[in-house]
Amino acid sequence: MQAAVRAAAAAGQGVRVVATGHSFTPVHLTDGTLLDLDNLRGVLGIDAASGRARALPGTTIGDLGDPLWEAGLALANQGDIDTQCIAGAIGTATHGSGISLTSISGWLRRCRLVTGGGDVVEIDETQPDLLAAAQVAVGMLGVMTEVEIQTVPAYRLVERIEHWSFDELIGQFDARVARHRHFSSWWCPTEQSPGLYGLTMEPGKPGADACYVKLYDEAPADLPDSATPRRRVDRSYRIYPDVFEPNFHELEYFVRYERAAEALGAMRELMLASQPDAIFPLEIRTVAADTAYLSPQYETPTLVLSVSGQPGADYWPYLRSVDRLLGGEFGARVHWGKLHFLTAEQLHERYPQAQAFIDIRRRLDPDGVFLNDHLRPLFA
Ligand SMILES: Cc1cc2nc3c(=O)[nH]c(=O)nc-3n(C[C@H](O)[C@H](O)[C@H](O)COP(=O)(O)OP(=O)(O)OC[C@H]3O[C@@H](n4cnc5c(N)ncnc54)[C@H](O)[C@@H]3O)c2cc1C
């Protein structure tokens, strides 16, 4: 790894790492060396007492489920799929839903990196500035070769899938977000929308302008596991992942939670009133505040809004209108692994620690070996 980075740097070429390549942004692209760390996969050690787990960067979220469970532990939260690598998920602040739960980046406690000069550095909690930069680095500080994350005691989940109107969603939003471990929803603008994400709405109820709602709470110890559809009870890591057809390109923006109801109403209006391409559901989630410099949740809990376009269609006018609304009127931050239109000026306006991140990036990679055409305009 060190030799590969040094050789590329000496040849004046860039280096990027690809994990499972689930990001929709061209974060992996390089005309230099592309490192695939598929072979660096596996759990290295679990300390049940502290809840710390060490893993190689190519270990998937799904790979962590059974070994953690056997040690009496679990990941605090998970996103919609579990096939991403832990280093890729950390690198882009991949998240699930839960107002008291941070993104996966927030769990990083230590990592080993090969820097732009080919040196190996260890970053841990004794270097809070470096750790805050490394927690969401989009591969710009170096190649992660090992990570250590904080986990939580193992838990099972009770799932409830419900069918609500948009007014019910807005009316109960704050109370439900506060009450449930996981509260999320897909608001579906058209009858065709639920099918695009494989969502089964309740028969006899309208699919258009309706919400597919997911509520997950910790299962009491005396409640047995159950496979009943829409009412499953199981280990957390078996409940979280959904199954998706790869039929969408996604944009995801993060709005300060205090403006959640306003942003939800504005998105519904935009999608119904002026955007005929807006047929994929609007995914609605929340994430807790953290302290990572490039985190969308830096020092603020957020409402997360995701929309998608169909591959092959010209979805850019629609996505640009979402950017104008959420970026322009709500100052939204962006998901580094999903489509966005962020400029350098907006980066500095919306991410108070962007310059602190860039200063650390320049220290660890002074020649910009890990930048590419997508990242250079923002972070050089
Ligand atoms: C179907 C689908 C569902 C999704 N669901 C969610 C969701 O629920 N929540 C959410 O937040 N996101 C979600 N995403 C987005 C996804 O989680 C992120 O894009 C994530 O980064 C993908 O992980 P990956 O392993 O594919 O990483 P990649 O896309 O391969 O890489 C992501 C970044 O991490 C860097 N990187 C990877 N490995 C290393 C390493 N070893 N060292 C240094 N840098 C590295 C890469 O260079 C890149 O910049 C989803 C994406 C898809 C396609």
Confidence check: pLDDT of 13 > 90: yes
Q: How far apart are CA 17 and CA 33, in angstroms?
A: 8
> Measured from the CA of 144, which atom of ligand 1 is nearest?
42
Give 246's pLDDT tier (boundaries 50, 70, 90).
confident
Domains of the chain from N-terminus onward: 2-153+348-379 (3.30.465.10), 156-343 (3.40.462.10)
The predicted structure's pLDDT at residue 275? 83
pLDDT tens-place string over residues 52-86:
999 999 999 999 999 999 999 999 999 999 999 99
The predicted structure's pLDDT at residue 56? 98
- Residue with CA at minimum distance from ligand 1 atom 31: 88
Rg of the chain over all Cα atoms, to the nearest angstrom:
20
- Residue with CA at minimum distance from ligand 1 atom 17: 94
For range 27-38, the mean pLDDT: 92
Q: How far apart are CA 232 and CA 195, in angstroms?
A: 21
Give 373's pLDDT tier (boundaries 50, 70, 90).
very high
Q: Which protein residues touch ligand 1 with a CB less than 6 Å away? A: 16-23, 27-28, 37, 57, 79-81, 84-85, 87-89, 91-92, 94-95, 138-139, 143-144, 244, 335, 337
Angle between helices 260-273 and 166-179 (to 10 degrees): 150
Q: How far away, in angstroms, is 165 Cα from ligand 1 center?
A: 32
Q: How far apart are CA 213 and CA 211, in angstroms?
A: 6
pLDDT tens-place string over residues 264-319:
999 999 999 988 889 999 999 999 999 999 999 999 999 999 999 999 999 999 99
**Most informative mutation of 22, 249, 251, 302 for ligand 1 (most atoms within 8 A of CB):** 22
The predicted structure's pLDDT at residue 243? 82
pTM over 0.85: yes
For range 153-157, the mean pLDDT: 98
Instruction: Round the average pLDDT of the chain to a whole number and report it.
Output: 96
Q: How far away, in angstroms, is 372 Cα from ligand 1 center?
A: 17
For range 322-336, the mean pLDDT: 98
Q: How far apart are CA 58 and CA 40, in angstroms?
A: 5
> Measured from the CA of 84, which atom of ligand 1 is nearest?
25
